[in-house]
């Protein structure tokens, strides 16, 4: 006899009553299967749960032999239960025993039953159990009956996951998985041991069964309207930088949010008697289960969008839940996120933050820059980690070896604890070099500067022993601000930087935004190739009011002191002339108003566009100093986007082509007697920094944590010997010099 329309809701109400009873876990499970069997007019209802080894154990039954409970086990993929678990979809068999996958268990006494229907119990799209119903007669179960079973399974999944329907011991085993290891791309060196914190905490759905279906429909409709409205609004404003969003992600959100099929499935789930939150969770689980089993990798990639969209909707339904930064953090937080903007990372308590793990993002992203400034171990490109972790899981971020360990074994924890102690001893050795001049064995002095971008970077000047700030990225202030910083705000920041630096030089790079550095409050058209698009000096010259405001703030902040301004992405000598003219105009206005001037003003050019290599004799005489931006110069030289993991590893900066370009710049700067520095990733790695010194660089700028290792290398290096060796290698090597230079360092005892 088919189930009546009202039966699913009646069943859910009875389930809620059972869950609220103060009885043992087994007693409640026994009542659950009796309820389901009665509601389905079935002679058998059985509940199988997956164990840690992947097998399925019979946990409760109404109709089968009671002695078979906890004694009947099916291996992964075995029997009809295993088949349903693998396919993660409902299946029914009018004559189950004749099916090839049927696995007879004599202890159950099920030989007298023929018809069989089973539905997976899904959590996050993965099967954690199977709910089955059997009858003696050979019959076909209706769609309504299967739908009722699926809804019940969803409620059971959420309750089991929270430990509400099984014993504490079994619940813990359900949640605990084997230790896992994920490869990743280091973006900030270090090793961190701690516990997982999800940047966007998962919403735990506790209210599963609806009291008022129409009320739940209205709540869901309003949440969907708010969701689609916010996405549409962000798209219209071009608000791509907020929360680390990218246009393609928002496009995917909008596509799913407006999808009629998705909305229809949500409505159908509501009609079975679920709350709005439970309906969202039900549809998410079913969709994930289906997509996880699709052979098309592009379809599986959309899992992120399903999760993000569902989480956004659940947050709206629950009244809006902020990121973990606003909550209570453990003392050793390892924050895990799909992606993140620099402002969001700065929201976290730096005393408690130990590590950062991202599923997406490049090594040169701005959150990576902030992570390095904070001195926390960080990895990106850690695919699939959000699906595998739970808040509170033990984790180890190895941002030296490029690995994340989740729920590590005690042996792994011990090994990394030793590594952390060794690293601490090594850092203590570097700290001892803080006041030691960075001079090579043959007397060549190399000035070591740090890169900075925010006020909290300044203590690193003293801690590292650097001689100054070789690159202050002024754009970070703009990127973490909700509105464009006004003249007074900019002036205060620049003055605070100069005050903290004292008599040490600070090089302020003028605003380098545009392209991939999108400001949340700045409307800009989408570009096919943002890295070589409308950005940096190009934007400054096209929007001179923005540039002049910043120059005015810098001039006011530097009253009576030395001011160094560096102009980014100069591609033609005319751009340098035009920018200098704007600077000179602001100096004239300053004098006219009788305001105090800087004691001295130096305007420099960044050499990062390859076209400038053939204009050095015209550009350098117009510059008071020059700085090589090695990150952009190398990606432009090799036509390889440094943020694209597919191509960024295809070239080595120690390739002779790149090194010859750098040598050309060194020789031109020497010819025109222009001070030269290099700031970029190359400067912060001992082997690459050694190579730069061999090419003739005597001033380099790097992340604060790199100063110690680079100084240790310099103190053990004979620069003359290295220079001669590089000359030879550049003449005879047609590929990377990396291995040759490693051999040189080993032979000469250079500490790299």
Average pLDDT in the 310-331 region? Answer: 75
Facing residues of 625 across strands? 604
57-77 per-position pLDDT tens digit:
999 999 999 999 999 999 888
- Asked whether the predicted pLDDT for residue 743 surpasses 90, the reply is yes
The answer as to whether 488 is a domain residue is yes
Residue 44 CB neighbour total at 10 angstroms? 23
Residue 303 CB neighbour total at 10 angstroms? 20
Q: Which of 172-186, 229-243, 612-626 has the highest mean pLDDT?
A: 612-626
Domain housing 241: 213-317
Of residues 264 and 528, the one with the higher pLDDT is 264
* pTM, to two decimals: 0.62
- Is residue 468 domain-shared with residue 605, that is, in the same domain? yes
- Is residue 230 domain-shared with residue 294, that is, in the same domain? yes
- Is residue 407 domain-shared with residue 454, that is, in the same domain? no
- Asked whether the predicted pLDDT for residue 84 surpasses 90, the reply is yes
Task: Answer yes or no: 260 catalytic.
Answer: no
Reduce the DSSP state of residue 141 to 3 states and report it.
coil
The answer as to whether 92 is a domain residue is yes
CA angle 188, 193, 197 (to 5 degrees): 85
- Is residue 142 domain-shared with residue 184, that is, in the same domain? no
Which one of 369, 396, 424 terminates a domain?
424
Integer Rg of the chain from CA: 32
Task: Answer yes or no: 45 catalytic.
Answer: no
Q: Do strands 91-93 and 115-123 pair parallel, antiparallel, or not at all (unpaired)?
A: antiparallel
Average pLDDT, the chain: 83
- Asked whether the predicted pLDDT for residue 580 surpasses 90, the reply is yes
Write the Ramachandran bin of 749: left for phi over 0, alpha for psi from -120 to 50, otherwise beta. left
- Is residue 387 domain-shared with residue 514, that is, in the same domain? no
- Is residue 479 domain-shared with residue 626, that is, in the same domain? yes
The answer as to whether 393 is a domain residue is yes
- Asked whether the predicted pLDDT for residue 250 surpasses 50, the reply is yes
The answer as to whether 102 is a domain residue is yes
What is the band of 309 on the pLDDT scale with cuts at 50, 70, 90?
confident
- Is residue 735 domain-shared with residue 634, that is, in the same domain? yes
- Asked whether the predicted pLDDT for residue 200 surpasses 90, the reply is no
For residue 240, what pLDDT is reported? Answer: 37
The answer as to whether 672 is a domain residue is yes
The answer as to whether 206 is a domain residue is no
- Is residue 491 domain-shared with residue 519, that is, in the same domain? yes
CA dihedral 408, 414, 417, 423 (to 10 degrees): -110
For residue 360, what pLDDT is reported? Answer: 77
Catalytic entry in 45, 114, 199, 679: 679
What is the band of 531 on the pLDDT scale with cuts at 50, 70, 90?
confident
Average pLDDT in the 27-54 region? Answer: 88
Q: Which of these ranges, 162-166, 380-384, 404-408, 662-666, has the smallest mean pLDDT? A: 162-166
CATH of the domain at 373: 3.50.30.10
Query: What letters, b where the CB count within 10 A reaches 16 and e where it falls short, cover 356-386?
Result: bbbbbbbbbbbbbbbbbbbbbbbbbbbeebb
Q: Which of 48-57, 287-296, 410-419 has the highest mean pLDDT?
A: 48-57
Which one of 424, 452, 486 terminates a domain?
424
CA dist 489 and 205 (Å) reads: 44
- Is residue 370 domain-shared with residue 388, that is, in the same domain? yes
For residue 115, what pLDDT is reported? Answer: 94
For residue 525, what pLDDT is reported? Answer: 65
- Is residue 140 domain-shared with residue 287, that is, in the same domain? no
Of residues 530 and 117, the one with the higher pLDDT is 117
- Is residue 685 domain-shared with residue 631, that is, in the same domain? yes
CATH of the domain at 233: 1.10.274.10
Catalytic entry in 114, 304, 366, 405: 366
Residue 290 CB neighbour total at 10 angstroms? 14
What percent of the chain is modeled with pLDDT above 90?
Answer: 39
- Asked whether the predicted pLDDT for residue 43 surpasses 90, the reply is yes
The answer as to whether 298 is a domain residue is yes
Closest residue by Cα to residue 207 from 304, 319, 308: 319
Structure tokens at 313: 């909707």
Q: Which of these ranges, 95-104, 649-658, 672-681, has the smallest mean pLDDT? A: 649-658
The answer as to whether 575 is a domain residue is yes
CATH of the domain at 618: 3.20.20.60
**Domains identified in the chain, total number:** 4
Which one of 317, 336, 370 terminates a domain?
317
- Is residue 568 domain-shared with residue 679, that is, in the same domain? yes
């Amino acid at each position: 006899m088919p189930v009546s329309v009202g039966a699913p809701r009646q069943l859910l109400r009875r389930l809620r009553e059972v869950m609220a009873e103060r009885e043992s876990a087994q007693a409640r499970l026994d009542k659950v299967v009796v309820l389901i069997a009665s509601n389905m007019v079935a002679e058998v209802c059985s509940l199988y749960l997956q164990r840690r080894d992947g097998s399925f154990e019979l946990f409760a039954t109404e109709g089968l032999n009671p002695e078979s409970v906890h004694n009947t086990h099916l291996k992964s993929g075995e029997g009809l239960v295993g088949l349903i678990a693998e396919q993660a979809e409902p299946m029914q068999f009018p004559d189950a025993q004749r099916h090839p996958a049927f696995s007879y268990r004599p202890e159950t006494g099920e030989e007298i039953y023929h018809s069989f229907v089973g539905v997976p119990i899904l959590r996050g799209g993965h099967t954690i159990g199977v709910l089955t119903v059997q009858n003696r007669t050979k019959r076909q179960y209706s769609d309504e009956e299967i739908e009722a079973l699926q809804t019940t399974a969803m409620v059971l999944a959420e309750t089991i996951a929270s430990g509400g329907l099984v014993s504490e011991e079994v619940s813990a085993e359900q949640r605990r998985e084997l230790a896992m290891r994920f490869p990743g791309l280091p973006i900030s060196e270090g090793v961190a041991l701690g516990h997982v914190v999800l940047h966007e905490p998962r919403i735990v759905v506790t209210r599963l069964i609806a009291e008022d279906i129409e009320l739940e429909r209205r709540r869901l409709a309003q949440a969907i309207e708010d969701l689609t409205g916010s996405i549409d609004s962000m798209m219209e404003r071009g608000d791509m930088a907020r929360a680390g969003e990218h246009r393609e992600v928002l496009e995917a959100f909008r596509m799913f949010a407006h999808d009629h099929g998705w909305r229809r499935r949500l409505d159908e789930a509501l009609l079975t008697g679920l709350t709005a939150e439970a309906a969202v969770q039900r549809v998410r689980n079913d969709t994930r289960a289906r997509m996880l089993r699709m052979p098309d990798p592009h379809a599986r990639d959309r899992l992120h969008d399903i999760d993000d969209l569902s989480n956004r909707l659940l947050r709206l339904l629950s009244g809006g839940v902020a990121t973990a930064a606003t909550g209570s953090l453990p003392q050793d937080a390892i924050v895990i996120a799909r992606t993140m903007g620099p402002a969001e990372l700065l929201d976290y308590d730096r005393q408690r933050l130990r590590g950062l793990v991202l599923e997406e993002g490049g090594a040169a992203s701005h959150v990576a820059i902030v992570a390095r400034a904070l001195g926390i171990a960080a990895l990106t490109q850690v695919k699939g980690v959000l699906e595998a972790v739970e808040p509170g899981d033990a984790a180890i971020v190895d941002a030296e070896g490029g690995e994340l360990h989740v729920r590590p074994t005690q042996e792994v924890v011990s090994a990394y604890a030793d590594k952390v102690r060794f690293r601490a001893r090594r850092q203590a050795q570097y700290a001892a070099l803080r006041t030691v001049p960075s001079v090579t064995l043959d007397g060549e002095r190399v000035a070591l500067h740090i890169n900075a971008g925010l006020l909290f970077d300044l203590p690193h000047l003293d801690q590292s022993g650097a001689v100054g700030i070789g690159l202050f990225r002024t754009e970070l202030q703009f990127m973490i601000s909700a509105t464009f910083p006004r003249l007074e705000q900019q002036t205060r920041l620049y003055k605070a930087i100069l005050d903290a630096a004292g008599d040490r030089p600070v090089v302020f790079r003028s605003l380098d935004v545009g392209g991939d550095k999108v400001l949340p409050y700045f409307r800009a058209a989408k570009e096919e190739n943002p890295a070589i698009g409308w950005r940096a000096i190009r934007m400054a010259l096209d929007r001179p009011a923005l540039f002049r405001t910043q120059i005015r703030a810098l001039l006011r902040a530097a009253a009576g002191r030395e001011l160094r301004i560096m102009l980014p992405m100069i591609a033609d000598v005319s751009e340098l002339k035009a920018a200098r003219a704007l600077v000179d105009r602001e100096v004239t206005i300053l004098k006219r108003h009788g305001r105090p001037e800087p004691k001295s003003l130096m305007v420099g050019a960044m050499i990062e566009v390859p076209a400038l290599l053939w204009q050095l004799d015209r550009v350098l005489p117009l510059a008071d100093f020059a700085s090589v931006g090695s990150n952009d110069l190398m990606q432009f030289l090799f036509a390889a986007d440094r943020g694209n993991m597919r191509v960024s590893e295809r070239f080595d900066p120690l390739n002779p082509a790149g090194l010859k370009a750098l040598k050309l710049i060194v020789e031109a700067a020497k010819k025109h007697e222009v001070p030269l520095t290099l700031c970029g990733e190359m400067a912060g790695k001992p082997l690459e920094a050694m190579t730069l010194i061999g090419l003739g660089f005597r001033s380099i700028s790097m992340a604060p944590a790199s100063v110690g290792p680079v100084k240790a290398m310099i103190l053990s290096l004979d620069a003359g010997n290295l220079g001669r060796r590089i000359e030879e290698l550049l003449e005879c090597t047609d590929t990377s010099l990396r291995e040759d230079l490693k051999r040189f360092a080993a032979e000469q005892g250079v500490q790299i």
